[in-house]
Structure 1
Amino acid sequence: MNTQKGMTLVELLVSLVIGTALLAGSLTVLTSNNASLRLNEALSSVQENGRFALSKLTQDVRLAGSYNPQAPELDVNGIEVTTEQAEVVDTAVGFVGAFLSNAFLGSKEGASGASDTLVIGMQGGADCTRDSHGYGTVVVAGQTVAREFHVVNEYYLDANQLKCKGYDGRVLRGVKSSSGSSNAVTLVENVDDFQILYGVAEPDALGAFTGQPSYYATADRATVAVNAGARVVAVQLSLLLFSEDTISKNGANRKMKLLDNKASVPAEARVYRTFEQTVMLRNAWNAAVFGASS
């Protein structure tokens, strides 16, 4: 007769230890995988938002100062197009004091390192919020298109949201009565900082421009330079975005720096990424060098 034996106490303890070790290893791998997944999702979200924000800003800024007085869709009712063209070019980047009916509107430096504000102008059928300000439509070459006018867009940060608000430049210049203002729209959320520098072109001794930036300056310095006869021909954009969720404290002491701002340590343990782009203002450059806009 075969005698069956159970596990000895030592064997049972060894089995428990091995099982516990395997379980702990599995939990460690699972936790690590979850952390990696959350990190990758956070990185992907931040990258997507950052690329969209920078693409939108770059696209709009490139149009700053554009104006075609011969465009059939341009609304010219009560408008002197030569004067308006000069106004649009001069306020391709509009600084504080540039607009008669809203003296406080304009590109400005944030106080004590706070986020900056960017204001640009161009000819268009709608502002950045898709508001046409009551100009309606017109038929051009058999196609119904939006009537175009002097568009002014303002970009700024509000409660970690990059927002845009549009204006009728003709109302701002005091040549047209207001038909109401558009509400601001949010372009991107989870934005920690928005900084801007302006490429200033100084004229030479003969008053001529090369069109290349002589230096990059804050809004305050650029305003002084423009009032003295310089031109803004480029804009440097910089955004700092963060993830929706906290990830870990790894790298929490890493310093972040945007353009001329002092380096600082983010307050929360999130994924932070900077996005920067320098945009040449072709229309402002043409106006400075050749005295024309397109």
Structure 2
Amino acid sequence: MIRQSGFTLIELVLSLALGLIITAAAILLFLTSQRSLSLQQGLSDVQDNANFGLNYLTKDIRLANLNNPKSILNDETAYGGVVLTSSINATKDTQTTPPTPLSNLVHTIIGTTANVNLVSRSSGMTVGTVPAWSGVSNVQVNGSDISSDQLVIQYVPQYLTDDKGTASTSDDVLVGGYDCEGNKLEFPVNDPLDGKPFGPQVVVQRYFLRADDNNVKTEPNQPLALACDAGHYATTGDPTVVTRYGDAGEIVMKRVDYFRVLLGVQNDNQRRYISVNDYMTLATPRPRIVSLQLGLLTRSAQNVGNDTVTKDDQEFVVLDQTVKVKKPSVATTKYVRQVVSQTVALRNSVGERGE
């Protein structure tokens, strides 16, 4: 009699079942790892945005009012500080004929670059059209759309004279570093007689949200980014335009759903933070500005899958506003969001309290 060996039917079923369980566990582990990787990459993206972008932003903003002999910052401080007014919306000095605008941008600047939507703005003010401030955001408050803010500062760089290694002064230039768009601040000391800017220049920098052309079609809302637009005008004479100002600028932080700015004002011995709109509705003379608060709702550029834990319409507190992300009209992959904020003391506004 020939002996035969093998597995019984029960043993085969058990082995197949065990194999399927092990395979399923391996697949589940793989999918969980992929989801965890996507989440970690999303969090890393948001953190990088916050750490590098916010540091770059605050470093620039601290330059506000640099090299301005007047330390009191308000809506009438010319050549420095936070830019709230131009010749269009400034309080006028009625003691002169004709009345002179007491504006942050020197009152001789007129036309396109004096547009009120190229100075600091906030929710509640009339929005303009791109590339000026349009108030775009991806959030709502109590079911209604709310505009993102715009911050504009100006300062005079610490210029150094470059003699180009020659004894002649005709080729001397002033070098003041770079503006927020990466443009080199280099101007001839003497008039080159070609219509181009020369001598010390006031640098104007505008921070606002705009759509990013480099985006993915599957993104849930508008692909917004924080951008900076920079220009300059002469510290002397009667400049009529801010050169190279009023365009789309360069991106500083990718994927920002909302941008909020509050002005830290001091009146007597009291300090408080208010919006640009609230500040401009105060009676003149308006209080001194000593600091700024910046709040941004940032979003990861990379999706984190379809995890139901991450909601499409999450609520976030950004400084004084509780906002809810606009829910996409169609189901999309999810993204990580984080609020980043910073209080910036305007050190160039300290000076003597009487100045």
Q: TM-score, normalised by structure 1?
A: 0.78
Corresponding residue number in structure 2 for 1:249: 308
- Residue 243 of structure 1 aligns with an amino acid whose one-letter code is S
Corresponding residue number in structure 2 for 1:231: 288
Report the alpha carbon displacement of residue 134 of structure 1 after superposing the two structures with TM.
Answer: 6.3
Aligned with residue 238 of structure 2, among 158, 169, 175: 175
3-state SS in 2 of match to 1:262: strand
Aligned with residue 117 of structure 1, among 147, 150, 164: 150
CA separation of 1:39/1:28 partners in 2, compared to 1, >3 Å: closer, same or farther? same
Does the Cα contact within 8 Å between 1:243 and 1:271 map onto a contact in 2? yes
1:264 aligned onto 2:291: no
Structure 1 alignment gaps of length 5 or more = 70-85, 139-145, 205-209
Q: Which residues of 2 match residues 4-153 of structure 1 at below 5 A?
A: 4-67=4-67, 87-89=78-80, 92-96=81-85, 97=89, 98=103, 99=105, 100=107, 101=110, 102-104=114-116, 105-111=118-124, 113-124=146-157, 125=176, 126-132=178-184, 135-136=187-188, 148-153=200-205
Aligned with residue 221 of structure 1, among 271, 278, 282: 278
Superposed CA RMSD in Å reads 2.8
Report the alpha carbon displacement of residue 239 of structure 1 after superposing the two structures with TM.
Answer: 0.8
CA deviation string 1:155-184 (max 9, x = no partner)? 00002111111121439x982255841551
- Residue 301 of structure 2 aligns with an amino acid whose one-letter code is E
State the percentage of identical aligned residues.
29
3-state SS in 1 of match to 2:227: strand
Q: Which has the higher strand share?
A: 2
Report the alpha carbon displacement of residue 230 of structure 1 after superposing the two structures with TM.
Answer: 1.0
- Residue 349 of structure 2 aligns with an amino acid whose one-letter code is A
CA separation of 1:136/1:28 partners in 2, compared to 1, >3 Å: closer, same or farther? farther
Structure-2 separation of matches of 1:56 and 1:280 = 15
1:158 aligned onto 2:215: no
Corresponding residue number in structure 2 for 1:191: 256
Structure 2 alignment gaps of length 5 or more = 70-76, 90-102, 125-144, 158-175, 191-197, 212-223, 329-333
3-state SS in 2 of match to 1:45: helix
CA separation of 1:113/1:166 partners in 2, compared to 1, >3 Å: closer, same or farther? same
Does the Cα contact within 8 Å between 1:121 and 1:169 map onto a contact in 2? no
CA deviation string 1:74-130 (max 9, x = no partner)? xxxxxxxxxxxx6234xx001143334204121110355211000001112243213
Report the alpha carbon displacement of residue 3 of structure 1 after superposing the two structures with TM.
Answer: 2.0
Does the Cα contact within 8 Å between 1:64 and 1:93 map onto a contact in 2? yes
Report the alpha carbon displacement of residue 188 of structure 1 after superposing the two structures with TM.
Answer: 1.6
Structure-2 separation of matches of 1:136 and 1:2 = 107
Q: Which has the higher helix share?
A: 1
Report the alpha carbon displacement of residue 187 of structure 1 after superposing the two structures with TM.
Answer: 1.1
Does the Cα contact within 8 Å between 1:222 and 1:232 map onto a contact in 2? no
- Residue 95 of structure 1 aligns with an amino acid whose one-letter code is L
3-state SS in 1 of match to 2:289: strand
